[in-house]
Amino acid sequence: ETGVTQTPRHLVMGMTNKKSLKCEQHLGHNAMYWYKQSAKKPLELMFVYNFKEQTENNSVPSRFSPECPNSSHLFLHLHTLQPEDSALYLCASSPRQGGRGYTFGSGTRLTVV
């Protein structure tokens, strides 16, 4: 256990469903990140939150909607996804944005059918 917890571990959803991914850290970190890992591709940064404020949106489609209610929790709301959105979604945190000490969760394996 790294201190960053992601739920659920696995998720299968239809293209018309709405679901949410959750990430929680109790490391006292102030920055949180969502990454997407597709097969045969490098990890792609999706969103960055620093002290609950979104500081980076890496041209992510609007069907992905992040939410950061406090520095310990990060959500990724999903709606009307496409099969190509199937991937491993990883959450990470760090003491400050861009600083050392990145800690990753175990990820949510998402399959869109």
CB of residue 85 to another protein, shortest distance in Å:
17
Q: How far is CA 76 from CA 20, 22, 53, 85, in A?
A: 6, 7, 15, 13
Q: How far is the CB of 83 from another protein (least distance, A)?
A: 20
d(CA 89, CA 82): 15
Tell me how far, at minimum, the Cβ of 31 lies from another protein, in Å. 10
Q: Which is nearer to another protein, 78 or 92 (CB)?
A: 92
- Chain residues binding another protein by CB under 8 A are 2, 41-43, 45, 48, 56, 88, 90, 92, 97-104, 106-107, 109
Structure tokens at 86: 């199937």
Compute the chain's Rg from CA coordinates.
Answer: 13
Nearer to another protein, 46 or 78 (CB): 46
- Picking from 21, 16, 25, 83, the residue whose alpha carbon sits closest to that of residue 46 is 21
Which residue lies nearer to another protein by CB, 81 or 90? 90
Pick from 32, 11, 9: nearest CA to 81: 11
Least distance between another protein and beta carbon 80 (Å): 25
